[in-house]
Amino acid sequence: MLAFSHWTYEYTRGELLVLDLQGVGENLTDPSVIKPEDKQSRGMVFGPANLGEDAIRNFIAKHRCNSCCRKLKLPDLKRNDYSPGRINSALGLEIKTEPAVETPAGEEGSDCPEDLTQL
């Protein structure tokens, strides 16, 4: 689930972060969609759970990439080219990647399905 949060932040270039997914199997509930303060609308599009830049900074500080992050070739959040609310529009969707570190089967952190479309 945390790899999905990481992916949403990278895919939207720091515009959104989906957190707090809960559930069983394919049934996920209670997501929190976080948006930086300067990108929020007065209409509370994502509701009162939008904790803004503090939640984004907290996620970036605490997130440790797992096997799914590596399989998705997501870059380290602490080394990205943007910070909450300050996106360089010239970046497009190109993401810097670092070589994936393979985790042998059976070791901790290898719970990511081979077919990532099953996430």
State how many domains the chain has. 1
- Cite the DSSP H helix spans in 1-119: 2-11, 52-62, 67-71
Residue 7 has pLDDT above 80, yes or no: yes
CATH number for the domain including 81?
3.20.200.10
Q: Say if residue 116's pLDDT is above 50.
A: yes
Tell me the per-residue pLDDT of 29-70, one tens digit each, with 9 for 90 and over: 888 888 876 555 555 555 555 567 788 888 999 999 999 999
pTM (predicted TM-score): 0.61
Question: Which candidate in 20, 38, 111, 115 is catalytic?
Answer: 20
Active site residue 20: yes
How does pLDDT run across 73-87, given as a tens digit for each residue?
999 988 766 554 443
Whether 20 and 49 have beta carbons less than 8 Å apart is answered as yes
CA 103 from chain centre, in angstroms, equals 21
Which domain, by its residues, includes 114? 2-118
- Report the alpha-carbon angle 110-33-63, nearest 5: 35
